[in-house]
């Protein structure tokens, strides 16, 4: 007789919650995909938010949005501090970006995704919706090989030495923003290549985890703090290094951050401080991209592609969904 594998009830619950997260991001992705190419960024974002909120509130969790699309006065966005779930399960932190790349979706350009992370209460950084300076690399390097406080040239040279290549053989990914002109100039000076993206820095950070496939060695620059926490959560699941610092450049921002528990406005957060504990991350493609295929509407079938990460065991799963029950997407 074969051995019977004993599975703890807690593990069963967590595995079920992993699948529930997939359903949440699938619903958000399909809802926003209906507005691809319509030029309506707010409409696509609202569709994703409404679908994500609806599915989150069905889950057996006592959840709190700690990283969201705004704060309480900005509802109907999933605001920071909002309670989600039916209240019957574990207390969890939730970080969401219902539609990362709203412009990409509105213009039907590559790389838009619906993404969220979940961890036990107190595990995800609770911060205001502000910008964050970020640096990230993939796994396999000595701890501290790059540092947010070091210059671009110093970081690229250090990474090149750790990788055993010349700096010109590296590729850095940077968001296409005027504020990054200095970073881009410094990268060019070192001789490294640059891949510039218009939106989507969650996926951009994830690209560093597999440079052989993506061609990306390092992420540099500033972007949204919500995306920073989500990216750190995903990176923790597969390995790598990331640092982030909130950009609290006004008294109002510093005051908001203080009320959310940020006592040091200049603190440099390590990846493990942005997202600790057992973290689960789910991302579903909205438009086709390098990370995920987008939603496809094919007659009576909707297809989706989702990637789900879990930090506890380093598991990464890709789920190709074929959906035939249209009513679950509230398409009317």
Q: In sequence order, what are the residues at sequence separation of 6 or more whose Cβ sits closer than 8 angstroms to the Cβ of residue 181?
A: none
Tell me the average pLDDT across 268-282: 94
Tell me the average pLDDT across 52-74: 83
- pLDDT score recorded for residue 75: 45
- pLDDT score recorded for residue 249: 94
Q: In sequence order, what are the residues at sequence separation of 6 or more whose Cβ sits closer than 8 angstroms to the Cβ of residue 331?
A: 30, 34
What is the reported pTM?
0.90
Q: 72-97: per-residue pLDDT in tens?
A: 445 457 888 899 999 988 899 999 99
Nearest of 209, 184, 208 to residue 194 by alpha carbon? 184
Distance CA 144, CA 296 (A): 42
In this prediction, residue 116 has a pLDDT band, given cuts at 50, 70 and 90, of very high
Strands 301-310, 62-67: pairing is: unpaired
Q: 206-242: per-residue pLDDT in tens?
A: 999 989 889 999 999 999 888 899 999 999 998 899 9
- pLDDT score recorded for residue 68: 85
Which stretch of 47-51, 200-204, 217-221 has the lowest confidence by average pLDDT? 200-204
């Amino acid at each position: 007789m074969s051995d019977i594998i004993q599975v703890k009830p807690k593990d069963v619950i967590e595995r079920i919650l992993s699948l529930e997260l997939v359903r949440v991001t699938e619903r958000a992705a399909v809802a926003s995909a209906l507005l691809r190419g319509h030029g309506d960024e707010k409409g696509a974002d609202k569709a994703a938010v409404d679908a994500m909120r609806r599915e989150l509130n069905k889950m057996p969790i006592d959840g709190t949005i700690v990283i969201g699309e705004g704060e309480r006065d900005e509802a109907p966005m999933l605001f920071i501090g909002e309670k989600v779930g039916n209240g019957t399960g574990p207390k969890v932190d939730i970080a969401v970006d219902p539609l990362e790349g709203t412009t990409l979706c509105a213009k039907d350009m590559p790389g838009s995704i619906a993404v969220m992370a979940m961890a036990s209460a107190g595990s995800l950084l609770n911060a205001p919706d502000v910008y964050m300076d970020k640096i990230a690399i993939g796994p396999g390097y000595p701890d501290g090989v790059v540092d947010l406080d070091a210059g671009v040239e110093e970081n690229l040279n250090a990474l090149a030495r750790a990788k055993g290549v010349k700096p010109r053989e590296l590729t850095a990914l940077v968001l296409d923003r005027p504020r990054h002109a200095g970073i881009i100039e410094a990268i060019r000076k070192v001789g490294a290549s640059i891949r510039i993206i218009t939106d989507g820095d969650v996926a951009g950070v994830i690209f560093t985890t597999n440079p052989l496939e993506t061609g990306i060695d390092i992420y540099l620059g500033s972007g949204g703090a919500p995306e920073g926490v989500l990216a750190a959560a995903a990176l923790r699941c597969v390995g790598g290094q990331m640092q982030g610092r909130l950009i609290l450049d006004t008294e109002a921002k510093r005051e908001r951050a203080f009320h959310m528990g940020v006592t040091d406005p200049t603190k440099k957060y390590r990846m493990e401080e942005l997202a600790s504990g057992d973290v689960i991350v789910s991302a579903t493609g909205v438009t086709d991209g390098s990370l995920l295929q987008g939603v496809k509407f094919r007659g009576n079938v909707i297809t989706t592609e989702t990637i789900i990460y879990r930090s506890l065991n380093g598991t990464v799963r890709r789920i190709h969904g074929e959906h035939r029950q249209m009513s679950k997407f509230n398409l009317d």
